[in-house]
Amino acid sequence: MTRGRPFCARSPWFAAIAASMLLSVAAGCATKASDGRPGASVQPEALAALHGDAGVTVELGRWAVFAPASTVPSTGFVFYPGGRVDWRSYAPAAREIARAGFLVVIAPMPLDLAVLGGNAADRVIPAFPSVTRWAIGGHSLGGVMAASYARRHEGLVAGLILWASYPAGSDDLSASSLRVASISGDRDGLSTPAEIAASRALLPASTVWTVIEGANHAQFGWYGPQKGDGEASITREAQEEAVVAASVALLRSLEAAP
């Protein structure tokens, strides 16, 4: 999602939009974003994950919906993609989270910018009445906007999952009852370890912090490298496995909650 200076400083048209969108101002400056799509197009592994298999069904339409094939999930996860990242890049992780027993809905964003679709969950959640517990989350800029949504809709969503992301300064969740997971990489050059650490003051004391050794920013999805990012020392597969495990742990904690 991110590279170079904050997106709001690099794009005059974005500043104009942000002037009429208070949340866009906060999110656009809180997390850096690219002035073009990061790296190459979505990778083949992501395209392959758009197809269901014996354990997971995939429905593509307004949203990308991943669900366990043999059960009706009662816990769901709305996912906001990173800025300027093709939403399909997150299909492999979404499919594996669904395989663990959860509904996962990836919400594509206008112009691939979550600041232009931060309320997408307003439409997703009512569309799945069988789901009684929801978490929201996202990668990088998507996580910023997910945190904003969670702050404004506590009670509707019970959990927040941040992938290489953190709340905008205006979205203080420290007194929230949300269950939160912050998942980051120690080689991330964009949402840096220092920035992630600084976000502790904005999140509940109960937040579960997972720092993946050897992980960078771009390997949270299946797309190309990003300028300014660190070089990962683990494979994309290994990083995805760790991200999925930490995300599933948060969703299981929602199921266990009274």
Round to whole Å and give the CA distance between 23 and 151.
12
Which residues 6+ apart lie within 8 Å of 192 measured at CB?
Answer: none
pLDDT of residue 91: 98
Does residue 222 lie within any of the structural domains?
Answer: yes
**Nearest by Cα to 154 from 173, 170, 181, 132:** 173
**Nearest by Cα to 240 from 222, 223, 228:** 222
Does residue 57 lie within any of the structural domains?
Answer: yes
What SS3 class is residue 48? helix
CATH code, 237: 3.40.50.1820
Does residue 92 lie within any of the structural domains?
Answer: yes
Compute the average pLDDT of residues 105-125: 97
Our count of domains for the chain comes to: 1
Residue 147 pLDDT greater than 80, yes or no: yes
pLDDT of residue 38: 63
pLDDT of residue 41: 80
Does residue 1 lie within any of the structural domains?
Answer: no
Does residue 95 lie within any of the structural domains?
Answer: yes
Q: What are the phi and psi torsion angles at 146 (to 5°)?
A: -65, -40
Torsion of the alpha carbons at 26, 27, 31 and 33, rounded to the nearest 10: -120
Does residue 2 lie within any of the structural domains?
Answer: no
Q: What is the pLDDT of residues 47-66, one digit of tens each?
A: 999 999 999 999 999 999 99
The structure's pTM equals 0.87
Which residues 6+ apart lie within 8 Å of 184 measured at CB?
Answer: 162, 163, 164, 191, 193, 196, 209, 210, 211, 212, 215
Does residue 153 lie within any of the structural domains?
Answer: yes
Which residues 6+ apart lie within 8 Å of 249 measured at CB?
Answer: 181, 208
Does residue 140 lie within any of the structural domains?
Answer: yes
- With cut-offs at 50, 70 and 90, classify the pLDDT of residue 256: confident
pLDDT of residue 59: 97
**Nearest by Cα to 247 from 102, 116, 148:** 102
Domain containing residue 93: 7-256
